Amino acid sequence: MTIKHNVPRFVPILYFAYGSNLHQEQMKNRCPDSQPVARATAHDFSLTFRGNYRGNGVADIQPTKGRRVEGALYKVSWDDLIALDRYEGYPFLYQRQLISVSTKEGPVNAFVYRMNKGFHYQAPSNSYFDIIRQGYRDWAMAETPLLSARDRLSQPHHAAK
């Protein structure tokens, strides 16, 4: 079941991607109507990996004062949004939320998927990480924040949590 969040079907929908959906070819396959719009930044969030997808973490953003997450905006159709809901495991794994992100033209509101509480921090698989890394390259974004997010979870003190 998909909850529609009262978005009229005729209104262009902006989606903020920060994980594997940065990979433009993958996004086009999942959401055929999607159109890349621009790079964007979510302020007061940090990138991490959580969950337990086959024993590996998947991308998530969490509120963190003073930090930021680089990502990208896509314009998506209503059918694309429903497809994203299914792919992201909405509403069981992720919740869809409307947040403000910054672009070169100024702030805009966009939908984003944030993981539900109760999922532990977990490093991603190499293959999943490589998909995200290609997405960073597709959007010409610096990879350092992505590498840092993964490396933080590879430290011994995170393995016990």
Q: Is 18 annotated as a binding residue?
A: yes
Q: Is 15 annotated as a binding residue?
A: yes
- Asked about 88 being catalytic, the answer comes back as yes
Side-chain half-sphere exposure of 104, counting CA atoms within 13 A: 4
Q: Is 121 annotated as a binding residue?
A: no
Q: Is 159 annotated as a binding residue?
A: no
How many other C-beta atoms are found inside a 10 Å radius of the C-beta of residue 57?
Answer: 24
Which residue is catalytic, options 25, 70, 88, 105? 88
In contact, 94 and 110? CB cutoff 8 Å? no
Q: Is 111 annotated as a binding residue?
A: no
| DSSP string over 110-140 | EEEEEEPTTPPB-PPPHHHHHHHHHHHHHTT
Q: Is 74 annotated as a binding residue?
A: no
Q: Is 20 annotated as a binding residue?
A: yes
Alpha-carbon distance of 4 to 81, in angstroms, equals 9
Binding-site residues from annotation for substrate: 15-20, 128
Q: Looking at the annotation, which residues are catalytic?
A: 88
